[in-house]
Structure 1
Amino acid sequence: MTLIEPIVTAAPGIASLRRDLHAHPELAYEEVRTAELVASTLAGWGIPVHRGIGRTGVVGVLRQGRSDRAIGLRADMDALPMTEHNRFAHASRHPGRMHACGHDGHTAMLLAAAQHLARHRHFDGTVYLVFQPAEEGGGGARAMMEDGLFERFPMDEIYGMHNWPGIPAGQFGLCDGPCMASSNEFRIRITGKGAHAALPHLGIDPVPVACQMVQAFQTIITRNRKPLDAAVISVTMIHAGEVTNVIPDHCEVQGTVRTFSTAVLDLIEQRMRDIAHHTGAAFGAEIEFEFVRNYPPTVNHPRETELVREVMHDLVGHEATLRFEPTMGAEDFSFFLQARPGAYFFIGNGDGDHRQDDSPAGHDLGPCTLHNPHYDFNDDLIPLGGSFWVRLVERCLAPTSPC
């Protein structure tokens, strides 16, 4: 592993900043303190800063030389609406808010790179440092684009990095093509006719309608979808009734759909719509069908993926550059990749041994997995992640390298 020594030296200071962010988590579009801390830190290093992009986003701009080539590096900043169970000194001070996905660490790694790039400008072109709000369900990437991100900051390509528990620290994960799925939600309201539970023939029971509908949805996966095209339909909520001796008027079915391609998603949505309406008609019930497309699939571009792989090989070696298995989780970096070439990849966060317990009574740390109340970002990643960003910039914006 060949880390950049000045970044290693500066890492403790960046880690302190990261822990401050962890202790003061802010939810989607509420990242006011976080954004100001990021902006003031960048400005203190002499980096021009643009605030309020996509409401609470921040973009730093580093220019060097005469080239008109430009790349974007993105870190997300928002926390999750959940209560932290850790007891270490930098645990969240705000119940119901927690950095349980490592966005504080993503911000820290990009700040580490920004500090070095501001002091050692071994590149020719422009680097846009994109600190994005509202990744956790808020579509902050789309909001920044709607606010003119790519028009105001005309980057040729953009890159994003996410920590991944289970991959050992010191290793990276990368995959070609789709790496994360689309995220979509459905809501179906079934309206029947209520009746006494002892006299079901006088009503239209929406519950068996829902049961038959849910079973039929799985035939879309097993009989309509091409077997090699990954997809998941998950019914996660069924709500009906209030008392045991009454057939309810209504039943509501909700859940999610995940796919790696828009064509498969189109198929699933249409088949679900058909099944819902025809099943309702067969029972004499009325159907309201809603399908919301939240995030598209995150699909890496070939050239940019290969560039990332080469930087990983140079930094940690071939054996520590892993083939990442695509996940059905979703990521709004997908909006950026629909608009610009780029790649999204993963840095190992280890298995949780980095966490410290300074509670005198002792503490069960629990699993260090994403979106878990015991999670914490591994600060040992800061010099590695920062070094990666710098090497990527230097390779992409080298004087003889086409970007």
Structure 2
Amino acid sequence: MTQMTKWRRHLHRFPECGFEVPLTADFIAKKLESFGIEVHRNIGQQGIVGVLCCGNGSSSIGLRADMDALFIHEENQFEHRSQHDGKMHACGHDGHSAMLLGAACHLAKEKNFNGNVYFIFQPDEEHGRGAQAMIDDGLFERFHIDAVYSLHNMPGLAEGHLSVRSGSLMASESSFEIIVSGIGSHAAMPHCSVDPIVTGSQIVLGLQTIVSRNLSTIAEKAVISICEFITNGTVNVIPSEVIIKGDCRCFTEDTLQKIEKNMERIVAGICQSAGAQYKFNLTNTFYPTINNAKITQHVIQAATKVIGSDKVDSNCLPLTISEDFSSMLRIKPGSYALLGNGTTSSGGCALHNSKYDFNDRILGIGAQYWVQLVHDQLT
């Protein structure tokens, strides 16, 4: 625990963002090498894979932690606060890395399993690009990983409790932009215009019918949010253009395809009726995080052995937040679980908040969980 706390607080003091995590990656790689673990650097730019083999077994397991921080200025005043202005570990990736390092240290020392463990340290989770970058760089071709697992801290969940579910745990995230082009005019002569504000307003209302009228309320849960409505007009000028931007989330890729198809149908129909032109673009950033049922049972069993069945929620409610581990789950069977960061003090502070801090008291639980999972699957 003492070592993991030191590692975690060191990483917290020197946060790095996106793919630009050279100090973080080097710190982690050197720790793994000091444990006697084979290290592969620069996978998906700054990604690290540590390889630990024991016995003659061919089975393998991949354990993944994220390394990147956020572009947030930290308001905490404790000694290990961020030393990099405008950057902080506000999502607990410092803790995730420290827990996995702790498990790696223990497993390398004890070597009481039979098979191969791959310790995956990933950059740029926050922008949804890191997992795919490692995959595109041959993560699953270079390393023969049977199944992948990941763990994320969860403020608001009781300290040391674990939540998981089979199937969709977290939603996809897609951003969209709609450009409505009309004809501007003086505000005193609206008959001379093709008013993109009126047209855009109808589009905003029309998009709200997708969830309520085009998707199953039971099987196709989704959220569509309009977040920006931008014009090039002014106080007495009807604009010639409106830009509508927003965000949509859902729990299956089929649902996402339905949303995209219906969005463009609505936009095209309203613009045609108004005599306006449009451009529509939807960009998917995160896929739905979908846990494999069999692998999730391994998570539940390992967690139960470590913390007891009373602290394991094996069928938690799905969440509309997103996670780029989902890209790995599209390729390999795996499971993503949530470890309670606590409900009071800094442990209960929301993620992506300038006063957040990872709860060091759960470091040992996370590391024990990883070790137990390896023992259960590689014996």
Point out where structure 2 has 5 or more consecutive residues left out of the alignment. Answer: none
Question: Which residue identity lines up with residue 62 of structure 1 in the other structure?
Answer: L
How far apart are the structure 2 equivalents of 1:264 and 1:384?
36
How far apart are the structure 2 equivalents of 1:24 and 1:208?
49
Q: Secondary structure at the match of 1:380?
A: helix
> Which residue of the other structure, out of 137, 148, 152, is the alignment partner of 1:162?
152
When normalised by structure 1's length, the TM-score is 0.92
Q: Aligned residue for 1:254?
A: 245
> Which residue of the other structure, out of 70, 82, 94, is the alignment partner of 2:84?
94
How far apart are the structure 2 equivalents of 1:138 and 1:232?
19
How far apart are the structure 1 equivalents of 2:120 and 2:14?
20
> Which residue of the other structure, out of 34, 38, 44, is the alignment partner of 2:34?
44
Matches for 1:3-402 after TM superposition, within 5 Å: 11-228=1-218, 229-322=220-313, 323-353=315-345, 368-398=349-379
CA deviations 1:170-214 (Å, max 9, x no partner) are 211111110001111110011111111111111111111111001
Measured after TM superposition, the shift of residue 352 of structure 1 is: 4.1
Cα contact 1:234–1:257 (8 A) shared by 2: yes
Point out where structure 1 has 5 or more consecutive residues left out of the alignment. Answer: 1-10, 356-366, 399-403
Measured after TM superposition, the shift of residue 241 of structure 1 is: 3.0
Q: Secondary structure at the match of 1:175?
A: coil
Measured after TM superposition, the shift of residue 350 of structure 1 is: 0.3
Question: Which residue identity lines up with residue 381 of structure 1 in the other structure?
Answer: I
Q: Secondary structure at the match of 2:29?
A: helix
CA deviations 1:288-325 (Å, max 9, x no partner) are 00011121111000111011101111111111002321
How far apart are the structure 1 equivalents of 2:374 and 2:50?
14
Measured after TM superposition, the shift of residue 92 of structure 1 is: 1.2
Question: Which residue identity lines up with residue 332 of structure 2 in the other structure?
Answer: R
Cα distance, 1:27–1:195 mapped onto 2, change above 3 Å: same
Cα contact 2:128–2:285 (8 A) shared by 1: no
How far apart are the structure 1 equivalents of 2:342 and 2:290?
25
Q: Aligned residue for 1:5?
A: none
CA deviations 1:44-98 (Å, max 9, x no partner) are 1111100000000000000000011111000000011111111111111222211
When normalised by structure 2's length, the TM-score is 0.98
Measured after TM superposition, the shift of residue 354 of structure 1 is: 5.4
Identity %: 43
Q: Aligned residue for 1:401?
A: none
- Could you tell which deviates more after superposition, 307-316 or 109-118? 307-316
How far apart are the structure 1 equivalents of 2:100 and 2:289?
21
| Two-structure CA RMSD over aligned residues (Å) | 1.1
How far apart are the structure 2 equivalents of 1:354 and 1:252?
39
Question: Which residue identity lines up with residue 370 of structure 1 in the other structure?
Answer: L
Question: Which residue identity lines up with residue 350 of structure 1 in the other structure?
Answer: G
Q: Secondary structure at the match of 2:133?
A: helix
Question: Which residue identity lines up with residue 111 of structure 1 in the other structure?
Answer: L
- Could you tell which deviates more after superposition, 71-80 or 346-355? 346-355
Q: Secondary structure at the match of 2:206?
A: helix
Cα contact 1:28–1:138 (8 A) shared by 2: no
Q: Secondary structure at the match of 2:188?
A: coil
Cα contact 1:216–1:275 (8 A) shared by 2: yes
Question: Which residue identity lines up with residue 346 of structure 1 in the other structure?
Answer: L
- Could you tell which deviates more after superposition, 197-206 or 50-59? 197-206
Q: Secondary structure at the match of 1:339?
A: coil
CA deviations 1:6-60 (Å, max 9, x no partner) are xxxxx11221111111111111000110000000111111111000000000000
